A = this chain, B = another copy of it.
């Protein structure tokens, strides 16, 4: 009998075999809200009486949101799901189900040898544990061949009618808060790009394994504590600008109050993006704890009347000097 060569043993899988692989891996997850999962034309979901469905979609595209030679497939899977969960967190919604559309070059579905796992399997190794952590099933999606790797994640959540946290409710006088710390993802990416082999996982965790603030969003919605909220996916400067636009207000941020990630620069904290923290506003009468579910919450500024011109926000330094805080975060589409 000839020995099977160790090394490159492409074991390509067609669409149905791939779907079967995924279906088997998610079969163990139990989800009461899911009446019907992978395997039919649609999935079927049930909501509790008096609930609204919250829906969000987020694209992750190779070369734009991740680099295959830099990011481990597990982290790409984790981050794709984290982006969607963070949107639900920003609405104060309870995660119900995830859907995943994957476009993949054929080589990413091949098993490159007995000791190695295929890219798509490693992607799921990062995706599925985060889904389990938030008790949501992967309920469906689509698979197609593509010249680059891409993932579109759809998250469905549930929130009691009228309780969702919106971007549009901030009023002058409200206090501006942020969870966790800022700039960690951008500084982690910088360090990953400069010296990938010398860094421990811990140092890169906020870039590779961001933790969406689902519990914190749920707390805020349940206590009707926040007047407006958004998640920081594109950078504080840009997401604060979105919140101000939707609320027709402006903002003053105290630079000394910013919870800058240890090792990150002020620039990274303001414009870095991908921190997936919550930025929210609350009236001064609202009692916001210093920690919610173990995550620090920091007051960083106040909402003011809409400025007549210029940017929506200013950064105030220790001496009281103000300078415009332009939205310089991530633009997914650069002209």
The yes or no answer to A49 lying at the interface (CB within 8 A) is: yes
Are B57 and A166 in touch, CB under 8 angstroms? no
Are A47 and B57 in touch, CB under 8 angstroms? no
Select from chain B the residue with minimum beta-carbon distance to A16. Answer: B331
Are B41 and A56 in touch, CB under 8 angstroms? yes
- Which of B52, B99, B334 touches A14 (beta carbons < 8 Å)? B334
Evaluate whether A55 and B15 lie within 8 angstroms (CB atoms) in the complex, with A109-B333, A167-B39, A246-B40 already known.
Answer: no
Are A156 and B40 in touch, CB under 8 angstroms? no
Select from chain B the residue with minimum beta-carbon distance to A333. Answer: B15
In the complex, how many angstroms separate the beta carbon of A23 from the nearest chain B beta carbon? Answer: 12
Evaluate whether A246 and B41 lie within 8 angstroms (CB atoms) in the complex, with A47-B47, A61-B103, A61-B146 already known.
Answer: no
Which residues 128-166 of A sit at the B interface, judged by CB distance below 8 A?
A: 139-148, 150, 152, 154-157, 159, 161, 164, 166
Which residues 61-116 of A sit at the B interface, judged by CB distance below 8 A?
A: 61, 63-65, 87-88, 90-91, 93, 97, 99-101, 103-104, 106, 109
In the complex, how many angstroms separate the beta carbon of A83 from the nearest chain B beta carbon? Answer: 9
Q: In the complex the two chains form, what is the Cα distance from A139 to B17 in whole Å?
A: 33
Select from chain B the residue with minimum beta-carbon distance to A99. Answer: B57
A-B contacts, 14 listed (Cβ < 8 Å) = A14-B334, A18-B333, A36-B166, A40-B91, A40-B246, A42-B55, A42-B91, A42-B157, A44-B54, A44-B164, A57-B154, A61-B145, A101-B101, A147-B147
The yes or no answer to A316 lying at the interface (CB within 8 A) is: no
**Centre residue among A17, A91, A147, A152 by max chain B CB count within 10 A:** A152
Are A335 and B13 in touch, CB under 8 angstroms? yes
Are A55 and B154 in touch, CB under 8 angstroms? yes
Q: In the complex the two chains form, what is the Cα distance from A148 to B104 in whole Å?
A: 13
Not counting A16-B331, A42-B155, A49-B49, a sample of 15 additional A-B residue pairs whose C-beta atoms are within 8 angstroms of each other reads: A40-B166, A41-B229, A41-B230, A42-B55, A43-B54, A47-B47, A55-B154, A59-B101, A61-B146, A106-B335, A109-B333, A142-B332, A145-B334, A146-B148, A152-B152
Q: In the complex the two chains form, what is the Cα distance from A156 to B152 in whole Å?
A: 16
In the complex, how many angstroms separate the beta carbon of A293 from the nearest chain B beta carbon? Answer: 19
Select from chain B the residue with minimum beta-carbon distance to A109. Answer: B333
The yes or no answer to A46 lying at the interface (CB within 8 A) is: yes
Residues of B within 8 A of A58 (CB): 101, 142
The yes or no answer to A200 lying at the interface (CB within 8 A) is: no
Are B145 and A57 in touch, CB under 8 angstroms? no
The yes or no answer to A231 lying at the interface (CB within 8 A) is: yes
Residues of B within 8 A of A155 (CB): 42
The yes or no answer to A35 lying at the interface (CB within 8 A) is: yes
Are A52 and B57 in touch, CB under 8 angstroms? no
Q: In the complex the two chains form, what is the Cα distance from A147 to B64 in whole Å?
A: 9
Evaluate whether A150 and B154 lie within 8 angstroms (CB atoms) in the complex, with A57-B99, A331-B16 already known.
Answer: no
The yes or no answer to A255 lying at the interface (CB within 8 A) is: no
Evaluate whether A43 and B64 lie within 8 angstroms (CB atoms) in the complex, with A142-B152, A143-B333 already known.
Answer: no
Evaluate whether A41 and B231 lie within 8 angstroms (CB atoms) in the complex, with A59-B142, A152-B59 already known.
Answer: yes
